[in-house]
Amino acid sequence: MISLIDEKYMPGDTESTGGCFHRPVLVRETVSALLPAEGKIFLDGTVGGGGHSLALLEAGACVIACDQDPQALQEASKKLAGYSNRVRFVESNFADLADWLPEIGVKELDGIVLDLGVSSHQLDTPSRGFSFLGNGPLDMRMGAHIQRTAADLVNQSSQEELARIFFEFGEEPAGRRLAAHLVKARGRAPILTTSDLVKAVESVIPKRGPRHPATRVFQALRIAVNDELAVLERALRGLSVRVKGGGRIAVIAFHSLEDRIVKRFFREVSQEWIDRPEWPEPQRNPAYGFRLMTARPIEPSEEEIRQNSRARSAKLRVIERIGNES
């Protein structure tokens, strides 16, 4: 689903949520890497509360602000209201934008920023069901177009499927035992709220150290509900072809599964030559077209982590399209 929402979400149409909707991480580092300037066009594929977009706009650039969460777009429209002539809001999953951009006259981009993961607002809103810290419906959908909720997965998936989700998306060692327990528990009563799930998890996985035993389980269900890893793969491949020579892609990942995908893709498109044991000699890489700008990921400073604890796991990677800007 893609829809232009320049008018639908202009400031004044919604009530203020109050407080900080979402505190973006690595803003200075990201914007510095993207080299914004007057006349350049950037895609913020996960606009959230608008922090990265605001910094790009303040530098004179134009921004296509995308998010699949309408509440995020509402908040971003208020933050970016002073730049309405240079920002365009789009309600969409960022993976669906590649083929659609030419329809609004944007054939090439000067840069892309993707701030992955869940926003502060989503975590802090119990009715969204993303967090184990408050009680709410077991939802976890990032957009209303997503059909299945986390409750649907927990109550309808087979034991084998649940174990796979917990292992692959949460790297949870106790995933098999938890899946078996959930199947038995839901036979007695449906697991419909975050508190229901937390109680079930705590009965199987004991608390060790500072991490809550439900952390990996909630991450796994969120990724499965929103198909996050497949969406990221599709977005990187589709959007990268829209970046012009000299343009850059900056991606901020918050857990190892996301970062692994970004790292692998960036390496794939930045290696001019590839070699395999069965080949007589190296061959030119057909995917080659970018220069790797971050040999190691950029991480938040200690000061940023002190101010925003959710930044502690963030990793920023950047690539640049080879060639001169047209």
3-state SS assignment for residue 262: helix
Q: In whole numbers, what is the pLDDT of the chain averaged over residues?
A: 89
Let me know: does 242 contact 108? Beta carbons within 8 Å: yes
What residues does CATH 1.10.150.170 cover in the chain?
A: 145-226
Measured in whole angstroms, the distance separating CA 155 from the mean position of its chain's CA atoms is 26
pLDDT tens, residue by residue, 110-150:
999 999 977 777 787 888 888 998 899 999 998 878 999 99
Q: What is the C-alpha to C-alpha distance for residues 320 and 263, in angstroms, rounded to an integer?
A: 14
**Predicted TM-score (pTM) of this structure:** 0.89
Query: Which tokens hold the place of 19?
Result: 């407080």
185 Cβ neighbours under 8 A, 6+ residues apart: 191, 200
Tell me what pLDDT residue 22 has.
62
Let me know: does 157 contact 225? Beta carbons within 8 Å: no
- Domain range 145-226, its CATH number among 3.40.50.300, 1.10.620.20, 3.40.1440.60, 1.10.150.170: 1.10.150.170
Q: Which of 101-105, 166-170, 314-318 has the lowest mean pLDDT?
A: 101-105
Q: How confident is the model at residue 323 (pLDDT cuts 50, 70, 90)?
A: confident
Nearest to 265 by CA among 282, 287, 248, 280: 287
What residues does CATH 3.40.50.150 cover in the chain?
A: 2-121+229-321
Instruction: Round the CA-based radius of gyration of the chain to a whole number and report it.
Output: 21
Nearest to 143 by CA among 68, 63, 74: 68
pLDDT tens, residue by residue, 13-62:
333 334 455 678 999 999 999 999 999 999 999 998 899 999 999 999 99
Let me know: does 218 contact 132? Beta carbons within 8 Å: yes
Report whether pLDDT(292) > 90: yes
Query: Which fold, 2-121+229-321?
Result: Rossmann fold (3.40.50)
